[in-house]
Structure 1
Amino acid sequence: MSEMSPDISKQAAKSAAMRRKLLDATISSLVDQGYARTTTVEICRRAGVTRGALLHHFRNLSDILAAAMSDAYDRFFLPDEDAAMSDNLAGWIDAAWEKISRPEFKAVIEVWLAARNDPKLGDGLWPAIAAYKKVFTISENSALRDRIGSSAEAEAFYRMAGETMIGMALGRATTPGGKALDHEDMVIDQLRKLADEVPVA
């Protein structure tokens, strides 16, 4: 098998760097300004590129939003990584909250809400949204299920804890500056205590 020529390799690296810059700009805009003000013009401004450069890599705004969602998922919410970081529910809470509390998760929330209210946007985003759903569904996350069990009590707690953390992330997203909420530590501590009482067999 022939090796890739230096010119092709250099072009591929340049293309990957451009995509990375555009995806980072998209997530940054969603975090700072929300979905309503995240436009291709704003993404290009933040990335310091032309609209033509964006359209060379992505067909439209929906396309780059879907790619940004998948990228954020790959970087922050891989199910196998979540499972590897936690051998029990209490450990999973710490691992999940460390990720969900990141500023980038506001971008995920913004796109979730936009997809719900814009059918055309939603069509392109459902595959990425479905990937997130697997993180919070024991029956679809085999690596995590194998580690913490699949009892009815474990699944009920798992879902309650996940919804609670997403709710706090939503609270942060609606707080000026995205600052941490005063009650976050108290809630996470309570979830840890409850986790120790959940049968996982």
Structure 2
Amino acid sequence: MAATPTSRRRTQAQRSAATREALLDATLACLVEDGFSRTTTTRVCERAGLSRGAHLHHFRTRNALVAAAIGHLAERRSEELLAAAEELPAGRERLAQGLDLVWSSYANPLFQAALDLWTQARTDADLRELLVEVERQLDRQTLELARRLFPDLAPRPDFDRLVEMSIATIRGLALLDTLHPGGARNRKQWTDCRARLVALFEAEPAPGGRELDIR
């Protein structure tokens, strides 16, 4: 039976959502390949195959567009990592493999693109204000992911502090890709850092644990 015109035609809301996603995906691709300074709204629209009017309908400024793109990336990252967490084995191997999973979400070109925005925001108050909420979103996702990855360890009084230190370590090593693209140097150091983090998670809880500040 042939499809009716109604079944073939997308709704306005569906078309709008598709346009928005195309803009965000094109923005991420431009940020990875060209960096923030060369990611103009014109380049993004050309890459997405959309008119400039489509961009202005969804995002009034470039800062709003790139901040939304990083938020879009954070949501996608959270979904992918939570799904991958379900496939991890139980037992002692889960800790190291869970840390590897978090590491993989930072040791990639998309993190370098996000880092470019964070650097720009240091002297751009408007962009900084937009990215603050994205950062809070990332912190909330990280804590949720950690509790799903390591449910047996989550009750520890110092669990949040260990998560915070693990993320700081991972981000610090990922910075090496800025001047040494390819990841060989930071992957080598990650092996040792991961072993030390595993040892800390397996040790007796330290006193004075606290929750991450994600307000």
The TM-score bracket by the shorter chain reads 0.7 to 0.9
Q: Does 1:35 align with 2:36?
A: yes
Shift of 1:38: 1.5
Q: Distance in 2 between matches of 1:172 and 1:7?
A: 46
Shift of 1:95: 0.8
1:107 is matched with which residue? 113
In the alignment, structure 1 segments of 5+ residues that lack a partner are: none
User: Which of the two has higher C-alpha Rg?
Assistant: 2
Among 122, 125, 131, the residue aligned to 1:119: 125
Q: Distance in 2 between matches of 1:195 and 1:82?
A: 20
1:170 is matched with which residue? 175
C-alpha change, 1:81 and 1:18, in structure 2 (3 Å) is same
C-alpha change, 1:119 and 1:150, in structure 2 (3 Å) is farther
In the alignment, structure 2 segments of 5+ residues that lack a partner are: 1-5, 206-215
Q: Distance in 2 between matches of 1:90 and 1:145?
A: 10
1:184 is matched with which residue? 186
Shift of 1:142: 5.2
Q: How many residues align?
A: 193
Query: TM-score, length-normalised on structure 2?
Result: 0.73
Verify the 8 A CA contact 1:35 1:110 in the aligned structure 2. yes
Verify the 8 A CA contact 2:176 2:186 in the aligned structure 1. no
Q: Distance in 2 between matches of 1:141 and 1:161?
A: 10
Q: Does 1:71 align with 2:72?
A: yes
Instruction: Quote the RMSD (CA, aligned, Å).
Output: 3.0
C-alpha change, 1:85 and 1:68, in structure 2 (3 Å) is farther
Once structures 1 and 2 are overlaid, which stretch shifts more, 117-126 or 81-90? 81-90
Shift of 1:151: 4.0
Shift of 1:6: 5.3
Q: Percent identity of the aligned residues?
A: 28
Higher helix proportion, which one? 1
Q: Distance in 2 between matches of 1:103 and 1:44?
A: 21
Once structures 1 and 2 are overlaid, which stretch shifts more, 126-135 or 47-56? 126-135
1:49 is matched with which residue? 50
C-alpha change, 1:146 and 1:89, in structure 2 (3 Å) is same
Verify the 8 A CA contact 1:89 1:148 in the aligned structure 2. no
Q: Distance in 1 between matches of 2:104 and 2:62?
A: 29
* Alignment-mate amino acid for residue 190 of structure 2: I
